[in-house]
Amino acid sequence: MATIIPIDLHERAWALFFLFGQTELDAGPEDWANHLMWIRRHGFKSPDAWLGPRGDRYREPWGMNNPSAEFVQDWSRFQAAHAADTLADIDKLTETFLHDAGLPPPAGGTH
């Protein structure tokens, strides 16, 4: 399947978190993709693991800020709103959003 989402993020939860960054946070596609791949390389299996207690413990010794309660709630609402979406649906939503916003897709997609 051709995809706009970088292959390293080609799991439903990460793809949805990528879309969340684009539509809700106004994150640049390349920077957000790189950030999410960095999180994955540090052993986090899902966005929820990164945003939860394990992520908090990881960030603490590095002096990194924890996500706000509002951010975590926004992410939870976004997940609920997209609960029925498949990976293909998420990819199409991401492609449409980036196209409509005039943004280039991140490197690593196969489009």
Domain that holds residue 49: 16-101
Residue identified by tokens 């957000």 is 32
HSE, side-chain direction, 13 A CA sphere, residue 76: 10
Q: What is residue 9's predicted lDDT score, i.e. its pLDDT? A: 63
**Long-range contacts, stretch 49-56, CB < 8 angstroms, 24+ apart:** 51/75
Evaluate whether residue 26 is within a structural domain: yes
Evaluate whether residue 88 is within a structural domain: yes
Evaluate whether residue 108 is within a structural domain: no
Q: Are 20 and 14 in contact (CB under 8 A)?
A: no
Evaluate whether residue 1 is within a structural domain: no
Evaluate whether residue 10 is within a structural domain: no
If pLDDT is split at 50, 70 and 90, which confidence band does 5 have? low
Evaluate whether residue 86 is within a structural domain: yes
Q: Tally the domains of the chain.
A: 1
Per-residue pLDDT of 54-101, as tens digits, reads 999 999 999 999 999 999 999 999 999 999 999 989 989 998 998 898
Q: Model pTM?
A: 0.86
- Cα separation of 47 and 51, whole Å? 6
